Structure 1
Amino acid sequence: MTPQLEYPFNTLPAIGETLPVAPGVHWIRMPLPFALNHINLWLIEDGDGVAIVDTGYGLDTTREAWNTILDGLGKPVTQIIVTHCHPDHLGLAQWLSEKTGADVTMTHGEFLAGHALWHQLPGYNVPAMLAQFRRHGLDEARCQALDGRGNAYKRGVPELPSSFRRLLGGDTLAIGGRGWRVITGFGHSPEHASLYCEAAEVLISGDMLLPRISTNVSVFAATPNDDPLGRFLDSIRAFRQLPETTVVLPSHGSPFRNIGLRVDQLVEHHDARCAELLAACTGPRSAGELLGILFPRELDTHQVMFAMGEAIAHLNHLEHKGAVCRLVGNDGILRFVKNN
């Protein structure tokens, strides 16, 4: 029989409600205004209080749901842990911190990246992103559509914490009398923090391991030659060390078991993507020209941003492996061609 992921829960928590998924761990599901229409957040019982893991996108409906949940808890929030800086995770961290009095806890890399995106610092702003996309051959109509969105990050993260408690990979957080080990991962974001509790056999994976979709891996304009896909693959392979009985609590989709199988599936997925691109690079091709190979479906403007970042990431990965080389045409566009 072909191995499959095991999904131990048949029901989803309604907005404003929680669902137990392990002793002392509760699942929350909040809305997102995108094609990917939900995010999972987590509560961990912490003595006489509760710790929050991730906070949701800056929507009034999410604030209302949090108000309902917090009113029903009847206990204080001890800490607010953010896995990474993306708006659906960091979005309401400062609002929750002000509301509950709890500190925000996250890695240094995610704190700084959040501020870089929010304040539109060089290499992390819309003009830099568009310059990178144009250099990689994205058509002008799509670039103009992206430009028209402005700073979309700030809409999802209305305000940012100005201070935080720092997490480091290998740290152990004491929550509810149990240890939660911080596992940092790279490629999806600068210094993503997953949390593993051996006693509860639970991994809060954030976006590093998702059961049904592949995590976005993009190249920032600030680091145009980086290999985030290589970093991501190295990061998820490390999860193979965890027991197969571990319940993985992902940020999107349902909790699942059989962690090693999911890692293998994701590695195979990205290998296949790279193979498709390599086969298409018998002559010089840009990321913009190759976008339809990786994403043959119709993409909205929000999805184009992620798709371009991912196309560049795969081409950079092939270059780092020595499979392709990059050329700059007379038009200034970067193209990649297969090495003989």
Structure 2
Amino acid sequence: MASLFNIGGAVIKKYTVDTPYPVGPVHFYVKEYDDFLVLFDTGPNTNHAKEFLKQSIDLSKLKYLFVTHCHADHYGLIQFIKENSDAEIFISKYDLFRLYNLDLRIKAMSRILKEIGMADTTIEKIIGVLCMFAKEVPVPDGIRVLEEADDILEDLKISYVRCPGHSQSDIVYLLDGKAITGDVFLNGIFQTPLLDIDADYEDDRFINYLYFCDTIKKMKELEKKYEFLPGHRDYIDSVDERVKFYVSKMCERMVSLKKYLKLGDILKALKTIIPEPDAEPFKTYIKLSEILFFKDFYENPKLLLDSLKDAKIVIDNKDIMMCTD
């Protein structure tokens, strides 16, 4: 399925393709220049997505690919594009760190999980999930660093803003009055802030919550000038409503976890949701990521309250206070 966004003669096309993931169909976007195309994200690494991509765009005209973040539904076809076009591929330096430092990430993640009190068998299975993610998408040689592409971006009249929270590498691309937002603040989806190590410090956990609070302010400012084009579903309301949804969903999920967060017992909090983590390593990883985000929020709710105040987003603070008292 395709849609057109026409601003002042500049055409951006949105394409939607199914994914095998719980998040559902994903969008990728194409900007048409006079004699070449620029692609934003790719869809997943499936045969259906490959055929859809080939039928949707003329790969012989594809000159650049820019990725919002390296999760499989958004960058899954970069190897396919490398093999079937002459496109230059750009991703954030933070994703490059993730892709090329798996051994370092495994070592640091194992330590983080050990500190939580997780059993060795569970750690092994969660690390197995991370390795599966890493192998799910073949990554070609010659990928270029987005943060080193200023000249090309200037020529294309494209800019970008880092908006971490869901991951460390979330990029929002800005062009023609549009903001291609990837997985930043999706409609009706609490997009899990995924547990990973910090690429800037390598041995530490990336604190999604800290950056989420800053991203609220960034997105609120972007909303004044740009129409948002999300990675999933439609962006039918506002940053205010998206943030209210995230905060309310977070507080709702924290109700049964608060007593464990107060004690700093992450493992017990996890086991109220997944009694046998060994049996469900993928779900364990997802829920553990959420719980650590909740922990950081519980320990410093003022950070979120200050961010909401700065962004002039009015929210009922009673929910926040009830889940952090």
Sort the TM-score into its range (normalised by shorter chain).
Answer: 0.7 to 0.9
Q: CA separation in 1, counterparts of 2:69 and 2:29?
A: 14
Q: Is the 8 A contact 2:95 2:169 kept in 1?
A: yes
**Alpha-carbon distance change, 103 to 169 in structure 1, aligned in 2, over 3 angstroms:** closer
Q: Across the two proteins, how many residue pairs are aligned to each other?
A: 297
Q: Is the 8 A contact 2:4 2:14 kept in 1?
A: yes
Question: 1:151 aligns to what SS in structure 2?
Answer: helix
The partner residue of 2:15 within 24, 28, 42 is 28
What residue in structure 1 maps to residue 242 of structure 2?
262
Q: CA separation in 2, counterparts of 1:47 and 1:273?
A: 49
Q: CA deviation at 1:210?
A: 0.7
The partner residue of 1:239 within 219, 226, 231 is 219
Deviations 1:128-181 (A, max 9, x none): 5355334324467754653554721233211234331523799993587xx333
Q: Is the 8 A contact 1:46 1:175 kept in 2?
A: no
Q: Is the 8 A contact 2:196 2:205 kept in 1?
A: no
The partner residue of 1:228 within 208, 211, 220 is 208
Q: Is the 8 A contact 1:246 1:259 kept in 2?
A: no
Q: CA separation in 2, counterparts of 1:216 and 1:31?
A: 20
Deviations 1:261-314 (A, max 9, x none): 3234334544565676444445x3522211266789x99542321211221232
Q: CA separation in 2, counterparts of 1:38 and 1:135?
A: 36
The partner residue of 1:103 within 73, 82, 88 is 88
The partner residue of 2:168 within 187, 190, 193 is 190
What residue in structure 1 maps to residue 103 of structure 2?
121
**Alpha-carbon distance change, 294 to 193 in structure 1, aligned in 2, over 3 angstroms:** farther
Q: CA separation in 2, counterparts of 1:312 and 1:288?
A: 10
Q: CA separation in 2, counterparts of 1:159 and 1:229?
A: 29
Q: CA separation in 1, counterparts of 2:154 and 2:218?
A: 22
**Alpha-carbon distance change, 53 to 150 in structure 1, aligned in 2, over 3 angstroms:** closer
The partner residue of 2:298 within 318, 325, 332 is 318
| 1:40 maps to 2:16 | no
Question: 1:40 aligns to what SS in structure 2?
Answer: strand
Which consecutive residues of structure 2, in runs of 5 or more, have no partner in the other structure? 304-322
What residue in structure 2 maps to residue 208 of structure 1?
184
Q: CA deviation at 1:103?
A: 0.2
Q: CA separation in 1, counterparts of 2:299 and 2:14?
A: 41
Q: Which amino acid aligns with 2:267?
A: G
Q: CA separation in 1, counterparts of 2:75 and 2:298?
A: 32
Higher relative strand content: 1
Q: Is the 8 A contact 1:274 1:314 kept in 2?
A: yes
Q: Which amino acid aligns with 2:67?
A: V
Q: Which amino acid aligns with 1:192?
A: D
Q: Is the 8 A contact 1:146 1:305 kept in 2?
A: yes
Q: Is the 8 A contact 2:82 2:140 kept in 1?
A: no
What residue in structure 1 maps to residue 269 of structure 2?
290
Q: Is the 8 A contact 1:56 1:92 kept in 2?
A: yes
The partner residue of 1:219 within 195, 209, 213 is 195
What residue in structure 2 maps to residue 180 of structure 1?
158
Question: 1:237 aligns to what SS in structure 2?
Answer: helix
Q: CA separation in 2, counterparts of 1:145 and 1:109?
A: 25
Question: 1:47 aligns to what SS in structure 2?
Answer: coil
Q: Which amino acid aligns with 1:290?
A: A
Q: CA separation in 1, counterparts of 2:103 and 2:54?
A: 33
| 1:86 maps to 2:78 | no
Q: CA separation in 2, counterparts of 1:61 and 1:155?
A: 19
**Alpha-carbon distance change, 35 to 236 in structure 1, aligned in 2, over 3 angstroms:** same
Q: Is the 8 A contact 1:171 1:181 kept in 2?
A: no
Deviations 1:64-90 (A, max 9, x none): 2222223xx486012100111222222
Q: Is the 8 A contact 2:164 2:171 kept in 1?
A: no
CA RMSD of aligned residues (A): 3.7
Aligned-pair identity in percent equals 17
What residue in structure 2 maps to residue 76 of structure 1?
61
Q: Is the 8 A contact 1:207 1:215 kept in 2?
A: yes
